[in-house]
Chain A
């Protein structure tokens, strides 16, 4: 969570709102912020920390672990039309890679703005593809892994 918070400036620049959700109460969120997060990241976690007691929200998003009673690590990119564009779900032992999250947001924003599509591993500035009859069988001419 702190790693995501550390990139908050970049999220803001991209016009992205971040919402964090766990089964903890809002009271625990507050104390975690004060006791720990604010010492990891200057100013603490700047985005809303939501409470999902009973995991009802996690359930519909497919991240609620009933045995453990917690929402496992899952992140979803939702576009301005309120459509889910990407999801990534991990078991708790491995943290996320916020850089990949940022890359995916940039790619989805590019696609939305241009109608082009982005090949594997695309970074801003790299070649994109313009799908259409002319491109069939000729992707190799413009893009290689």
Chain B
């Protein structure tokens, strides 16, 4: 198994949201966009993101949702490792 070198803290980009046209005129330089509301909708394009991942047989690796563009994807969120259900 090719175990990748990996430090304790490794930032990943998280959601990669296309810059929305600013609705507040005169807001000046665009702020780093803090996404705090749901924007996923059926029938709409998925929101891309990058996350650190563990992959069996590979090790630690950053994964982008858009790496899988062109395939069917099932994205499963769950409350936590070592939970009961």
Contact = CB atoms under 8 A, between A and B. Distances in A.
Contact of B35 (A46, A56, A71, A78): A56
Contact of A93 (B40, B55, B81, B85): B85
Contacts of A80: 69-72
Interface string A31-51: 111001000000111111111
B38 A59 contact: yes
B42 A87 contact: yes
Interface of A: 1, 4, 11, 14-33, 36, 43-52, 54, 56-63, 68, 70-87, 92-96, 101, 105, 108-109
Main secondary structure of the interface of A (DSSP, over half): mixed
A46 B46 contact: no
Contact of A76 (B66, B71, B75): B75
Contacts, number: 190
B65 A84 contact: no
B56 A61 contact: no
Given A59-B35, A61-B77, 12 more contacts: A16-B74, A20-B77, A26-B6, A26-B53, A30-B60, A32-B81, A50-B53, A52-B77, A57-B49, A76-B74, A83-B44, A92-B79
Given A46-B56, A60-B47, A92-B83, A21 B75 contact: yes
Contacts of A32: 81-82
Interface residues of B, number: 47
Nearest to A109: B72
Contacts of A108: 72
A81 B71 CA distance: 8
A52 B13 CA distance: 10
A73 B38 contact: no
B38 to A, nearest CB: 3
Nearest to A4: B76
Contacts of A68: 79
Given A48-B55, A78-B46, A85-B42, A94 B71 contact: no
B72 A15 contact: yes
B31 interface: no
Contacts of A36: 82
A82 B45 contact: yes
